[in-house]
Amino acid sequence: MINEAPTNLWLMIIALAISAYFLKMFGLVVLGSRQLPKVFDRCLGLIPAALLSALVLKDTFSVGQSLVVDARVAGFVVAVIAAWRRAPLIVVVVLAAGATAFLRAI
Amino acid sequence: MELRRRNVGWHFVVTELRRVVVSSLALGGAVGIFALSFGVASVSAGASVWQTCALSLFVFTGASQFSAMSVVGAGGSMLAAYGGAVLLAARNMVYGLALSSSAKSMAGNLPRRLFAAHFVIDETTALALAESSPRFRKVAFWTTGIGLFTFWNLGTLIGALAGTAIDPQKFGLDIAFPAAFIVMLVPHLRSKLGRQASALGGVLCLVSISFLPIGVPILIAALAVLVGVRNDQ
């Protein structure tokens, strides 16, 4: 849960909205049809691969700063299998949540 | 003869337009489901319904929104949450570049371009660039953009309202974040570089979780993009 005041969450949302817009606008309007160096392009394209897997692992195997293994692992395994078989998101979430909830209930 | 030729041309344009609009709307529906899970996950991470809706209205780039609320929900600092989300938003800059350099498809006066910028995201870029003619690119961009924006925000609102009504722990909904991240990650695992960056990012995050402040390991994981530096292909 949130450790800081709700005002801070509002400030973060505002800062993020401005930054996200600026990044979109910078590419479309300011840079226009200029070319970025290939390496730069490639590294920016890899950000989701690197960050999403970090986020998955953090959300599955950690509570705060400690690594834990709990009912979420069941949901994680189910989600990986479902996503790999290209199930739509709603199916992935429902199956994963079901597996986690089931393990918590028993 | 002249008339018939013109009719055929007009018919072609209408069918093509319909194809572009239908694919945009289909995508919008799918994105609405994604937004639903964002709404639920965001309020269960501690945001209010208003804050959740503000994220979808004004940030309007899915992975960043999910990432920010995932870090906040885990008890991370706002700065760490912001940092990860901005890193994920950085690729929109490349999309903007691709859109404006693709045969002037996004040409127009400055105010319109400034407005269009808000809609430069994965889906609008993909669908616009999939079209071969500049005119259809423009149509695809705007129908996808407006359609997605509508579905994304409707889905967020419904999800947020639903999320406040149920106990997320009991229904296993804390798994909604990783599940959504897994779905977003899968397409990036198709390339070798993507798999390398993903594996390295995961390892960097896991080894640093115990000694770095909450959310910072996500920033450290970004170092994994450096696998793209040496690999020249």
Alpha-carbon gap, residue A49 to B222, rounded angstroms: 9
> Both B200 and B157 in a single domain?
no
Range in B1-10, B22-31, B54-63, B158-167 with the lowest mean pLDDT: B1-10
Cα–Cα dist A57/B206, whole Å: 7
Q: Which of B47, B95, B200 faces A27 most closely, judged by CB atoms?
A: B95
Regarding whether B138 and B59 lie in a shared domain, the answer is yes
Q: Does B113 touch chain A (CB under 8 A)?
A: yes
pLDDT value of position B1:
42
Of residues B175 and B156, the one with the higher pLDDT is B156
Q: Is it the case that residue B101 has pLDDT exceeding 80? A: no
Taking CB atoms and an 8 Å limit, are B117 and A72 in contact across chains? no
- The boundaries of the domain holding residue B232 are 190-233
A41 close to B (CB below 8 A): yes
Count of domains observed in chain B: 2
**Claim to verify: residue B26 and residue B129 sit in the same structural domain:** yes
Looking at per-residue pLDDT, the higher value among B14 and B121 belongs to B121
Q: What is the mean pLDDT of residues B122-151?
A: 87
Let me know whether B140 and B225 are in one domain. no
Look at residue B134 in the predicted model and tell me its pLDDT: 80
Could you tell me if A62 lies within 8 Å of chain B, comparing CB atoms?
yes
Question: Could you tell me if B37 and B140 lie in one domain?
Answer: yes
Is B91 a residue whose pLDDT tops 60?
A: yes
**DSSP codes joined into one string, B172-186:** TGGGHHHHHHHHHHG
Average of per-residue pLDDT across B80-88: 95
Residue B104 confidence class, pLDDT cut points 50, 70, 90: low
- The answer, yes or no, to whether residue B223 has pLDDT greater than 70, is yes
Average pLDDT, chain B: 87
Q: Would you say residue B103 has pLDDT above 60? A: no
pLDDT reading at B209 higher than 80: yes
For B213, phi then psi, to 5°, come to -55, 150
Model-level pTM? 0.86
Residue in A with minimal Cα distance to B40: A93
Q: Band the pLDDT of B87: cuts 50, 70, 90.
A: very high
Give the pLDDT band of residue B106 (cuts 50, 70, 90).
low
More confident residue, B23 or A17: A17
Looking at residues B102-110, what average pLDDT do you find?
A: 67
Tokens of B45: 């991470």
B194 falls within a domain: yes
* Yes or no, beta carbons of B209 and A65 under 8 Å apart: yes
Question: Same domain for B123 and B82?
Answer: yes
Of A41, A76, A98, the CB nearest to B94: A41
B181: in domain: no
In a domain, B183, yes or no: no
Q: Is the pLDDT of residue B31 over 70?
A: yes
- pLDDT tens for B176-205 read 889 989 999 998 999 999 999 999 999 999
Claim to verify: residue B154 and residue B201 sit in the same structural domain: no
Confidence of residue B2 (pLDDT cuts 50, 70, 90): very low
Place of tokens 């609009």: B21
Identify which of A12, A51, A86 has the shortest CB distance to residue B82.
Answer: A12
Are residue B130 and residue B202 in the same domain, yes or no? no
In the prediction, which pLDDT does A3 show? 65
For position B3, what pLDDT does the model report? Answer: 47
Ranges of residues in chain A with a pLDDT under 50 are none
CB A39 within 8 A of CB B228: yes
Looking at the complex, does the CB of residue A80 fall below 8 Å from at least one CB of chain B? yes
Tell me, what's the pLDDT at B217? 94
B83 and B157 fall within a common domain? yes
* Pair B112, B154 in one domain: yes
CB-based contact, A21 to chain B, within 8 Å: yes
Query: Taking 80 as the threshold, does the pLDDT of residue B120 lie above it?
Result: yes
Query: Is B184 part of any domain?
Result: no
Structure tokens at A32: 């226009």
Weakest-pLDDT range from B23-32, B39-48, B154-163: B23-32
Among B122, B142, B173, give the residue marking a domain's end.
B173
Q: Any alpha helices (H) in B45-133, and if so which ranges?
A: 49-54, 62-73, 78-89, 91-101, 110-116, 122-130
Q: How many CB pairs under 8 A join A and B?
A: 334
**Boundary residue ending a domain (B145, B173, B201):** B173
